[in-house]
Amino acid sequence: MKKVVTFGEIMLRLSTPGYQRFVQCDSFDVCYAGGEANVSISLANFGLDASFVTKVPKNEIGQSAVNALRRYGVDTTYIARGGSRLGIYFLETGASQRPSKVIYDRAGSAIAEATAADFNWQEIFKNCDWFHFTGITPALSDQMAQVTLEACKAAKAMGVTVSVDLNYRKKLWSPEKAGQVMAGLMEYVDVCIGNEEDAEVVFGIKAAETDVTRGELDHAAYEDVAKQLCERFNFKCAAITLRESHSASVNGWSAMLYSNNKSYWSKHYNIHIVDRVGGGDSFAGGLIYGLLTEMGPQDSLEFAVAASALKHTIPGDFNLVTKEEVETLMKGDGSGRVQR
């Protein structure tokens, strides 16, 4: 069985019930979430050996986060314990023309204050095939940026394939800081995942003639972005997710993959959104699964986009679908008919 290690922060998510606003709700729905944790859940559901690495406080809240991962078969052996708190984010789910809102309360979290001594990468990467992180992790603190770099170096030295989802978060760091830190990490990356905003903000690479707010996408421009990423950082391949934001409730969803000087384009899905948070992570999980199990570039891309389309229908950050459900959608059955 193929083994994938992901590294990042798991957080407590507090979301308003239904489509309520922060100012009107009297309670919050609780679940756990985080970019790399979301990827590990997808991979475990698809049948791979998925291991998530982080640091959580040694208390009941930290244990609840670990339990949320274990429930779906994720290996939590290398999660460090300590620190004072688990990071939190609050979510107000938007609808129609009202966008969703996220408020972070994650300063001083256990993972943000972790050090190199918390992680034995030689042990963690033993018998590992793939390592995945996102741009969120090095943004948490200067310490985390250094720990992430050490993880990438160790993975590369041990022959592990490394992937990154650029995942720029303006509430965590500036474009200048992101560009500087991420450029240093890209030396060790084989597969890059991002969207039209990530490439422009972090590396100054822009897709011309494109406006996602009007649903206008130019394939040649995105092909150029992916090509520039591969040429600048020597990636084996680069994937770009293409989201057309018609409203908070309805999006167009597709993606492209640039590999070996060739571009691949996925099917296009019109999705009615139940919960879009974690949509990009579900794409990353699907792409990693496809590439790692040697589906080939086109099928890997189609699997990733179909998996992510399904995630948008599921409340919470985790993509709780099976490989068989993704394959059914890949084959064209998106009718949503009741299965009896």
pLDDT of residue 243: 87
Q: What is the pLDDT of residues 1-21, one digit of tens each?
A: 899 999 999 999 999 999 999
Is there a domain that residue 340 lies in? no
Element (H, E) at 153: helix 142-157
What CATH number should be reported for the domain holding residue 20? 3.40.1190.20
Query: Which tokens go with 36?
Result: 């790399």
Given a contact cutoff of 8 angstroms between Cβ atoms, the answer to whether 140 and 169 are in contact is no
Pair 49, 1: CB distance under 8 Å: yes
pTM of the complete model: 0.94
Kindly state the average pLDDT of the residues 111-135.
97
For residues 111-116, give the mean pLDDT.
96
Ranked by mean pLDDT, the top range of 155-169, 247-261, 268-282, 326-340 is: 155-169
How far is Cα of residue 314 from the mean position of the Cα atoms in its chain?
16
339 falls within a domain: no
> Do 328 and 309 touch, CB atoms closer than 8 A?
no
pLDDT, averaged across the chain: 93
Give the model's pLDDT for residue 215: 52
Judge whether 336 lies within some domain. Answer: no
Say which residue, 274 or 196, is predicted with more confidence: 274
The pLDDT of residue 55? 98
pLDDT given for residue 315 in this prediction: 94
Handedness of CA 146, 151, 152, 157 (dihedral sign): positive
> What is the domain count for the chain?
1
pLDDT surpassing 80 at residue 248: yes
Q: By residue range, what is the domain housing residue 298?
A: 3-330
Predicted local confidence at residue 216, as pLDDT: 57
